[in-house]
């Protein structure tokens, strides 16, 4: 009995150590218009400049996006993008949690949100995490990881 319990606990901790979770609330179509201006606000503690990564990811989708601190906010923009990032150290720093909120700039009403949680065994580069969260918020499918082809050549993994 004890051996079965120990085996079950080992299996649970192994599975929990290999998880990635995504959750999202889709952005309405009217806010995906390329004519809309997005402002990605750096919360002031981010020295890794995820605001620039998020803005670049929005621009890759043909959306007009700028980034900066709250003091850099343009006078007229349509969508405020804020984020919360949590980093963890496990033989190197990695982005364990990222939440991106899309808000109406005047009322601060939540228009859409997405978040990602990943453990150290399945860690991805912060640029990949941002790309996945933005894809989910935009209602796009997540990119499928490339795998080894029949020739034995391994394609790029993300």
Q: Is 28 part of any domain?
A: yes
Q: Is the pLDDT of residue 157 over 90?
A: no
| Angstrom distance (rounded) from CA 130 to CA 22 | 11
33-49, pLDDT tens digit by residue? Answer: 888 999 999 999 888 99
pLDDT digits (tens, 9 = 90+) for 102-124: 999 999 999 999 999 887 677 78
Is residue 61, in this structure, part of any structural domain at all? yes
Q: How many structural domains is the chain composed of?
A: 1
pLDDT of 78 above 90: yes
**Residue 126 domain-assigned (yes or no):** yes
| Structural domain containing residue 28 | 20-137
- Interatomic CA distance for residues 12 and 36, integer angstroms: 46
Cβ neighbours around 103 below 10 Å, total? 17
Digit-coded pLDDT (tens) for 56-71: 999 999 999 999 999 9
Flag whether 12 is in a domain.
Answer: no
In a domain, 153, yes or no: no
Residue 122 domain-assigned? yes
Residue 12 has pLDDT above 50, yes or no: no
**DSSP label at residue 32:** G
Integer Cα distance of 66 and 59 in angstroms: 9
- Cα-based angle 105, 111, 116 (whole degrees, multiple of 5): 110
Tell me whether residue 44 is in a domain.
Answer: yes
Distance CA 76, CA 68 (A): 14
Q: Phi and psi for 112 in degrees, rounded to 5?
A: -160, 160
Q: 56-73 as b/e, with b when 16 or more CB fall inside 10 Å?
A: ebbeeeebbbbbeeeeee
Tell me the CATH number at 126: 3.30.160
Q: Is 40 inside a domain boundary?
A: yes
What's residue 51's pLDDT?
Answer: 96
């Amino acid at each position: 009995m004890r051996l079965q319990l120990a085996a079950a606990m080992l299996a649970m901790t192994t599975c929990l150590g290999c998880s990635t979770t995504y959750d999202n609330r889709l952005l309405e179509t009217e806010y995906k218009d390329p004519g809309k201006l997005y402002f990605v606000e750096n919360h002031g503690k981010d020295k890794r400049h995820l605001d620039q990564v998020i803005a670049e990811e929005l621009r890759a989708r043909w959306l007009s996006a700028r980034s900066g601190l709250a003091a850099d906010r343009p006078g007229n923009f349509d969508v405020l993008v804020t984020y919360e990032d949590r980093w963890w150290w496990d033989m190197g720093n990695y982005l364990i949690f990222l939440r991106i909120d899309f808000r109406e700039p005047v009322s601060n009403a939540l228009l859409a949100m997405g978040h990602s949680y990943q453990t150290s065994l399945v860690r991805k580069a912060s640029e990949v995490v941002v790309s996945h969260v933005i894809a989910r918020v935009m209602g796009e499918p997540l990119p499928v990881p490339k795998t080894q082809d029949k020739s034995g050549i391994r394609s790029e993994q993300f």
